[in-house]
Amino acid sequence: MKNRIITISREFGSGGRTIGKEVAAKLGIPCYDYELIEKIAEESNFSKEYIAERGEYTAHSGWLGSAFADRDFNGHSYQDDIWSVQRKIILELAEKGPCVIVGRCADYILRDKADCLTVFIHSDLQKRAERIVKQYGERDIAPEKRLRDKDKRRAAYYQFYTDMKWGSVQNYHVALDSGVLGIDQCVETLAALYNAK
């Protein structure tokens, strides 16, 4: 029997990371999010900041930007290096035991390798804007603009490496609006679905 794993994809500012942590705590299994970045840093030569940024986001929004940004004449990019290391680490973690993995295309990487409950967390722009201002503070750029840019670059990254559409409802077993349902109810729902199978 393959290990049962929850993969969480999320819109920036939707609280997907918090939901991942809380559902893992509730189920008594580990949650890999920042820990994943640390592991990738250990096994590569890149800084944690660079990995956090380029292990989920393209340099520019749009497919062309993601495909050609930062490539040398051989078509090689640091982003590809990070992708290889994080793919290997995610596969190793999934072998080790049940867990929650936040982001980083884990749903795609594990699609035939683990018994996954694939999750998408979203929320409307205004609620996400309030959340990121509360969590990360004000910036020069308006929160709505930051969110749109982050979502676009995350979607471009996902599409480039998986050839699938990020946030397309058919790709996920369950999609929840955390802004309407609330963080606690999302956690309850995912824990119940995880335990039911």
Where do contacts with a copy of itself occur on this chain (CB under 8 A)? 120, 122, 124, 167-170, 172-177, 180-181, 185, 188-189, 192-193, 196-197
| Interior/surface letters 161-197, b for 16+ CB within 10 angstroms, e for the rest | beeeebbeeebbeebbebbeeebeebbebbbeebeee
Axis-axis angle for helices 16-27, 183-196 (nearest 10): 50
* Residue closer to a copy of itself, measured from CB, 99 or 176: 176
User: What is the smallest separation between the CB atom of 67 and a copy of itself, expressed in angstroms?
Assistant: 25
* Residue closer to a copy of itself, measured from CB, 100 or 186: 186
* Residue closer to a copy of itself, measured from CB, 140 or 169: 169
* Residue closer to a copy of itself, measured from CB, 85 or 119: 119
Please choose, from the candidates 11, 190, 56, 178, the residue with its C-alpha nearest in 3D space to the C-alpha of residue 117.
190
Please choose, from the candidates 121, 125, 157, 123, the residue with its C-alpha nearest in 3D space to the C-alpha of residue 142.
125
Axis-axis angle for helices 34-43, 78-96 (nearest 10): 120
* Residue closer to a copy of itself, measured from CB, 29 or 125: 125
User: What is the smallest separation between the CB atom of 189 and a copy of itself, expressed in angstroms?
Assistant: 6
User: What is the smallest separation between the CB atom of 10 and a copy of itself, expressed in angstroms?
Assistant: 11
Q: Are 161 and 58 in contact (CB under 8 A)?
A: no
